[in-house]
Amino acid sequence: MSSNMKTVRIMVFMALYSALTIVLDYARESMPFTSVWANGGSIDISLIALVFASVHLGWKIGIVTGLLEFLISIVFSATKLYFAPYSPLLGFLCDYIIPIAIMGMASIFVKKNETMFRNIIRLEIGIALCMAIRMFSQVVSGVYCWTEASDIGSLTAWVLSLEYNLGYGIPTMIMLLIVMPIVYRAFIPVIEKRYKS
């Protein structure tokens, strides 16, 4: 396959996964049990598409796909942006850019010539690690950007931010750890067979 065709194919898949992420974002909005936290906290089912993009296209393209999806979702108002009252730039980075980019790296441990079982284990480790970094980034934002000015950096701010962010971050991680092996097992062999490089 020529280099140009490969590039076009990757771009088409990036667009497809970005669109699927936005569709899942809209679906999440209509599910009452996924959006019970204030200011945007929710069980994020759209990460299924982003993690799958990472597995299919590689973690580097997964990062770009995540950022592309984020930009597209802003344009189409699929993502509601909440700007922190204190340090809005730090809040924007810690609440949006770092978490979406880090989830694009979920497949960083997956190897091409490895058994499916081992790659699923590697993917699970990648998901858990990326979700931990994502949650830490969002907790830092809560402590330094969303807390009252007098409480910034305090123990109270850490406790409240942990409670809020882990409240939806852990269920999101559990959902990904359950769903992604099923998705991986169902689709990766088909994709690998159809689109051999």
pLDDT at residue number 53? 95
pLDDT at residue number 72? 86
Average the pLDDT over 165-176 and give the result.
Answer: 94
Give the start-to-end residue ranges of the domains of the chain: 3-194
pLDDT at residue number 85? 76
Fold of 3-194: Arp2/3 complex 21 kDa subunit ARPC3 (1.10.1760)
In which residue are the tokens 């990062």 written?
63
How far, in Å, CA of 180 to CA of 48, rounded? Answer: 7
In the predicted model, is pLDDT for residue 197 greater than 70? Answer: no
The residue type found at 78 is A
pLDDT at residue number 2? 79
pLDDT at residue number 151? 81
Would you give the DSSP letter of residue 122? H
Q: Label residue 37 by pLDDT band (50, 70, 90).
A: low
In the chain, what are the helix, strand and coil shares in percent, each to the nearest 5?
Answer: 75, 0, 25
pLDDT at residue number 171? 93
Beta carbons of 105 and 62 less than 8 angstroms apart:
yes
Beta carbons of 34 and 42 less than 8 angstroms apart:
yes
pLDDT cut 70: percent of the chain above it: 91
Average the pLDDT over 62-87 and give the result.
Answer: 81
Task: List pLDDT tens digits, range 106-161.
Answer: 999 999 888 999 999 999 999 999 999 999 999 999 998 887 877 888 899 999 99
